[in-house]
Amino acid sequence: MARRKLWIDNVTENKDLSGKTYIVTGANSGVGLETTRQLIKQGAHVVMACRRVKAGQKVAEEFKSLTGSFDVMRLDLADLSSVREFVKNFLSRYDQLHGLDCNAGMVSMGRDVTRTKDGFEMSIGVSYFGHFLLTESLLDILKKSAPSRIVLLSSCVHAGRPDNRPYVHLDDLNYDKREFNAMNAYSEAKVANVLYALELSNRLKGTNVSTFSVHPGWARSNFGKENVFMRIISPIMAPFIRSMTDSNEESAQTSLHCLISDQAVKHSGEYFSQSSVLYRDKECKDGGWPLATPNPHAKDMKVAKELVSKTYKLVGLH
């Protein structure tokens, strides 16, 4: 059944963003591409942080006629040295940052664990560890440019279901000891992002830097399409599931609300969601800006702080 889509309000949609600088990771595709398009339409300068620079440059051709501007820069979140290089290049070119949209993500669909260059399990490595290092390395410029915002893409799968709520395994974040399960790994990565937004907002109190975690919806993007099975099955399934899924533009709305709306900043640290048939909890299906996560493991500040403290060491910050 189709659900009413949450959409940014008129004031937000028409806000003049000229003079503002944003970074959107994974800006060449799906939700990131549409988020980028709207920011540029409203006059912003967007640094499109892409793993494949040529793909970024190609889609950015469409943005040349819009009011704002863009710059495509290389960022591979599965490689911490690439994150460091990106930060170095960004800081050498820019002296302000008003919004960091940690949008890129992937799910590794195989039966066996795949790893980032630094040995993290791939889903959590890209979604959480890579974005963690990126965010922490840009905190000073975000504080200096405040008011500013940080958005971390999560997913409704972080909520799990009433009899099975995913949680971060602090003693084995990277499937070194457990049997690998791709969907569990992805869900845990997205719990980590909800917890990180929560911890960061607490740490950044009084700085005018706000943080949010987001479920974009069930986007008709390229998500999961590296998988051969998904590549075959997606076009066959598309007509049947169309009414349940969201366009990439609809899926960008929640990130845009968190990045631009004056209302969002009243809820720093919280989880925001597009409506989504994918929730197993009935009360979540209509979404919410913000939405109370039904997963107790995703709102436990003690766990959030332990996760962050462990992550500092794992990404080489302490």
CB under 6 A: which stretch of 63-71, 172-180, 213-221, 282-290 binds ligand NAP?
A: 213-221
Give the pairing type, strands 209-215 and 271-273. parallel
**Among residues 113, 219, 284, 308, the one that binds ligand NAP under rule CB under 6 A:** 219
Residue type, 188: E
**Among residues 104, 138, 209, 303, the one that binds ligand NAP under rule CB under 6 A:** 104
Nearer to ligand NAP, 89 or 208 (CB): 89
**Among residues 6, 12, 23, 29, the one that binds ligand NAP under rule CB under 6 A:** 29
Nearer to ligand NAP, 76 or 188 (CB): 76
Q: Does 257 engage in binding with ligand NAP (CB under 6 A)?
A: no
Q: Would you list the DSSP string of 221-238?
A: SSTTTTSHHHHHHHHHHH
Burial-class residue 271 by CB neighbours within 10 Å (0-12, 13-18, 19+). buried
Is 186 annotated in the active site? Answer: yes
Residue 57, CA distances (Å) to 24, 41, 54, 97, 318 in order: 14, 17, 5, 21, 36
Q: Are 148 and 142 in contact (CB under 8 A)?
A: yes
Tell me how far apart the alpha carbons of residues 222 and 178 are, in angstroms, rounded to a whole number. 29
CB under 6 A: which stretch of 72-80, 175-183, 197-205, 283-291 binds ligand NAP?
A: 72-80
Catalytic residue among 22, 167, 186, 271: 186
Q: Does 218 engage in binding with ligand NAP (CB under 6 A)?
A: yes
Q: Does 155 engage in binding with ligand NAP (CB under 6 A)?
A: yes
Residue type, 313: K
Q: At what angle do helices 248-260 and 30-41 cross, to 10 degrees?
A: 50
Tell me how far apart the alpha carbons of residues 125 and 108 are, in angstroms, rounded to a whole number. 11
Q: Does 192 engage in binding with ligand NAP (CB under 6 A)?
A: no
Q: Give the nearest distance from C-beta 21 to ligand NAP in angstroms.
A: 19
Q: Does 222 engage in binding with ligand NAP (CB under 6 A)?
A: yes
Nearer to ligand NAP, 29 or 210 (CB): 29
Nearer to ligand NAP, 22 or 218 (CB): 218
Which helix (DSSP H) or strand (DSSP E) does residue 69 occupy? strand 69-74
Q: Does 153 engage in binding with ligand NAP (CB under 6 A)?
A: yes
Tokens describing residue 248: 């990439």
CB under 6 A: which stretch of 103-111, 168-176, 197-205, 258-266 binds ligand NAP?
A: 103-111
CB under 6 A: which stretch of 51-59, 230-238, 282-290, 302-310 binds ligand NAP?
A: 51-59
Tell me how far apart the alpha carbons of residues 232 and 243 are, in angstroms, rounded to a whole number. 20
Nearer to ligand NAP, 145 or 216 (CB): 216
Q: Are 298 and 271 in contact (CB under 8 A)?
A: yes
Residue 314, CA distances (Å) to 120, 131, 159, 173, 262 in order: 9, 13, 25, 10, 35
Nearer to ligand NAP, 42 or 221 (CB): 221
Q: Give the nearest distance from C-beta 144 to ligand NAP in angstroms.
A: 25
Q: Which residues are catalytic?
A: 186
Q: What residues make contact with ligand NAP under the rule CB under 6 A?
A: 25-26, 28-32, 51-52, 55, 75-78, 103-106, 126-127, 153, 155, 215-216, 218-219, 221-223
